[in-house]
Copies of this chain bind each other. A is one copy, B any other.
Amino acid sequence: MLKEVLIGILIGTVAFTVGMLLGHFAIEKVPEWVKDASQDVDEALIKKFLAELDSNEIQENLRELTKVPHLASTPGDEATVELILKRWQDPKTGLDSAWREDYKVCLSFPSKTNPNKVSVVDEENKVLFMAREKEKAYKPEQEDPDVVQPYAAYSPAGNVKGKLVYANQGKMSDYELLNKTLDLKGTIAITRYGGEGRSKKAINAAQFGIVGVLVFTDPYFINDGVVSESGTYPNSWYMPPSGVERGGYSTDFGDLLTPYLAAKEDTYRRPIEEVTGIPPIPTQPIGFEDAEQLICSLDGDDAPDDWQGSLNCTYKLGGPGFKATSSFINSTVHLDTYNTDRLENSANVMGVIRGNVEPDRYVIYGNHRDSWVHGAIDPSSGTAVMLEITRVLGKMLKEGKWRPRRSIIFGSWGAEEFGLIGSTEYTEEYFSRLSERTVAYINVDISVFGNTTLRASASPAAQSVIFTASKQIDAPGTKKSLYDNWIEYNNRTSATYGVIPNVGFLTGAGSDYAAFMHYLGITSVDFSYDYDRSKTRAGIYPAYHTAYDTFDYASKYIDPGFTSHQAVARTAGNVLLRLADSLLLPLNCSDYAESLELYLSQAVSVFEEKLADKGISLEPLQKAVQLFQETATKLESLIRDSELAKETPLKARRINDQLMLLDRAFLDPLAFPDKSYFRHVIWASRSSKVPTFPGLADAVEKEDWNQAHKHISILTQAIAGAAHTLQDGI
């Protein structure tokens, strides 16, 4: 018995000792946060998310958003503020929190009592012709009393008259050509949209003594030549003869009176006289049916071939003034504008989902809310998509199924149409925090131009995540992925990947990504669905900025069934989730290197010889691009060799910081002293046609060799600096 007891005790003791030893180790428990810190993207969750995005919901969003015109700062705009707040504060499908942020910004409006007038008046002061004050009503929407009549925002008020000339697109070269044979002083110029920024048509004109400018959309460009009512909306997607593109007439963006400062109540406002980039002379857009009356009555020489369009005559330059055979003979054109600049309240609506692991890293998703009229496509197609994304994410969040690794910020920007004002004021007010913490900005403004293919423009760092997302989503009406469909319509050959879809560069300031990309250097992406550009000359959907951009138009001619909206929601939402949830940020620095190499090869092939003649070498720039490329390769191999989920979270954070700050490293606030807000030396806007580094291209264009050399140095330092950002060491 003793033996058995001893054996029992022995077993017990050994077992207990083993237990104790193990227990000793077990005391040092693995902290909870060790697992949290490695939270990564969940592919199953993404699939579920994509499946829940509903085209019907998007359609109903659009219907509600476009009930009334919602021009910035009007009651219609305020109604959309409240709609979005209500959605984002919904207890079942809302976000963590949502609020409004108001700015007091300088907007320009026509007079309600004194409409702008374009008329032809003869020598006895008899009015022979008066352009329409309103677009023709085909549907009740056009009769809404809140439809703002066509005008050029920020054109000054004034009453001018003069002989008419035709100045093509209002480019400097157009006026220079006219000026060779005509005395332009005191004339009024009629110009076409395109080829030059809206306000520049008037800024250029004023340099030649022209006193007023008219602008119209040539049906050649927008309607593939169709001019008849029977061939245009409501019978097709084309612009009706009375349709007029409204627009902000300013070269800069952000509130005009408070550059670099958020436009709060007490903020210093510069006098309007100090504002450059807006028309110095009265300017007014008109429909092409009115433009035809004027242009087809002009005297003078035939305009050059590339100045001709689809109006029913040979375009002439003007005598100046009208031809003898016209009823307008000896008459002048009178342009009377009554626009006023007013300080108005404009709201951004902000919504937030707080991040679980890295709340101090932001992914921002935004679109503007204001429209010119009903704005079904521009911007409500984007807002309808955003609201569907927030509904599904909000539901997942409120049901406790998900909280992102990083914080997500949604922005519904105000007063974009007047010059990207809401988003710009936001970046000004929160400049430091956004610069420090923002991983990426996703913009979906016009979500659907047409039904053919995905379209994306982005910082090259984001190309790969766009591709990943687009491979997971079906292209509506096809059996292909968005990616495979896209590659058919718009591709390029990459040195690394072969033939791939063509992601555009964000070199312009066409929507609210501008302040993020150019001013703050935040990796940005802009998504939409597009029509087949090989089948039409239309540069944009024809109802753009007219009173015909309605729910009726959108649902009949742009996206019946709303499946293209849905495809965009899925793409943007997928990219958003990957940016917010991935342990390793899905940003690719080698793709950036490839873009720099592309720009460099352009610079070498077009400029190298010219520069060498002046003793200027591109070699430093070549070396910097090479350094960048090598550094990118090194970082990617470090990433490949890491098991981030098992290593210290500080390692993933370190690499992610390098990727996040990559675009920031290209900023130089003094590189373009005359281009407000453009600080990104690679993607800043460019006048030159050569697709390469903007500061260099524009300097070579102007044959300013000192400036060219200086920009080579600026670029060299910025690109080497971006390489340093990617370097782990010191």
List residues of chain A with CB under 8 Å of any chain B CB: 1, 4-5, 7-9, 11-16, 18-20, 22-23, 25-26, 28-31, 33-34, 36-37, 258, 260-262, 264, 266-268, 270, 352, 354, 357-360, 362, 407, 409, 428-433, 436, 617, 619-620, 646-650, 653-654, 657-658, 661, 664-665, 668-670, 706, 709-710, 712-714, 716-717, 720-722, 724-725, 727-730
**Among B7, B649, B669, B728, which residue has its beta carbon within 8 angstroms of that of A650?**
B649
* Chain B residue at minimal CB-CB distance from A654: B360
8 A-B contact pairs sorted by A residue (CB < 8 Å)? A5-B8, A19-B19, A30-B30, A33-B648, A360-B657, A429-B717, A649-B649, A669-B670
* Chain B residue at minimal CB-CB distance from A658: B360
Asked if B362 and A730 sit within 8 Å, CB to CB, the answer is yes
Asked if A433 and B724 sit within 8 Å, CB to CB, the answer is yes
A497–B270 CA distance with the chains assembled, in angstroms: 42
Chain B residues with CB under 8 Å of A4's CB are: 1, 4-5, 8
Chain B residues with CB under 8 Å of A264's CB are: 620
A608–B357 CA distance with the chains assembled, in angstroms: 46
Asked if A648 and B15 sit within 8 Å, CB to CB, the answer is no
Q: A5-B7, A266-B619, A352-B730 are in contact. List 12 more A-B contacts (CB 8 A).
A: A8-B9, A15-B18, A19-B20, A19-B23, A31-B34, A37-B649, A261-B713, A354-B729, A354-B730, A430-B721, A432-B664, A649-B650
Asked if B712 and A268 sit within 8 Å, CB to CB, the answer is yes
Given A266-B619, A352-B730, A724-B433, CB of A26 within 8 Å of CB of B15: no
A724–B25 CA distance with the chains assembled, in angstroms: 43
Chain B nearest CB, measured from A548 CB (Å): 39
Chain B residues with CB under 8 Å of A664's CB are: 432, 436
Asked if A713 and B268 sit within 8 Å, CB to CB, the answer is yes
The interface centre, meaning the residue of A258, A407, A431, A646 with most chain B CB atoms within 10 A of its CB, is A431
A712–B619 CA distance with the chains assembled, in angstroms: 45
A23–B18 CA distance with the chains assembled, in angstroms: 9
Asked if B16 and A721 sit within 8 Å, CB to CB, the answer is no
**Among B357, B409, B653, B669, which residue has its beta carbon within 8 angstroms of that of A669?**
B669
Asked if B661 and A432 sit within 8 Å, CB to CB, the answer is yes
Given A266-B617, A648-B37, A706-B268, CB of A721 within 8 Å of CB of B431: yes
Chain B nearest CB, measured from A84 CB (Å): 17
Chain B residues with CB under 8 Å of A436's CB are: 657, 661, 664-665, 725
Given A407-B730, A432-B724, A432-B725, CB of A710 within 8 Å of CB of B268: yes
A661–B437 CA distance with the chains assembled, in angstroms: 11
The interface centre, meaning the residue of A261, A267, A710, A717 with most chain B CB atoms within 10 A of its CB, is A717
Asked if A33 and B647 sit within 8 Å, CB to CB, the answer is yes
Chain B residues with CB under 8 Å of A431's CB are: 717, 721
A16–B11 CA distance with the chains assembled, in angstroms: 9
Chain B residues with CB under 8 Å of A710's CB are: 268, 270
A713–B722 CA distance with the chains assembled, in angstroms: 32
The interface centre, meaning the residue of A360, A665, A716 with most chain B CB atoms within 10 A of its CB, is A360
* Chain B residue at minimal CB-CB distance from A11: B12
A358–B16 CA distance with the chains assembled, in angstroms: 42
Chain B residues with CB under 8 Å of A12's CB are: 8, 11-12, 15
Asked if A713 and B8 sit within 8 Å, CB to CB, the answer is no
Asked if B30 and A19 sit within 8 Å, CB to CB, the answer is no
Chain B nearest CB, measured from A1 CB (Å): 5
Given A11-B11, A18-B19, A22-B23, CB of A37 within 8 Å of CB of B650: yes
A483–B284 CA distance with the chains assembled, in angstroms: 72
Chain B residues with CB under 8 Å of A362's CB are: 730
The 5 closest A-B pairs by CB, nearest first: A8-B8, A19-B19, A15-B15, A11-B12, A33-B648
A727–B658 CA distance with the chains assembled, in angstroms: 22
* Chain B residue at minimal CB-CB distance from A670: B260
Chain B residues with CB under 8 Å of A266's CB are: 617, 619-620, 713, 716
A12–B8 CA distance with the chains assembled, in angstroms: 7
**Among B30, B262, B352, which residue has its beta carbon within 8 angstroms of that of A28?**
B30
Chain B nearest CB, measured from A362 CB (Å): 7
* Chain B residue at minimal CB-CB distance from A267: B713
Asked if A433 and B721 sit within 8 Å, CB to CB, the answer is yes
Chain B residues with CB under 8 Å of A709's CB are: 268
Chain B residues with CB under 8 Å of A28's CB are: 30
A34–B710 CA distance with the chains assembled, in angstroms: 49
* Chain B residue at minimal CB-CB distance from A361: B654
Chain B residues with CB under 8 Å of A267's CB are: 620, 713, 716
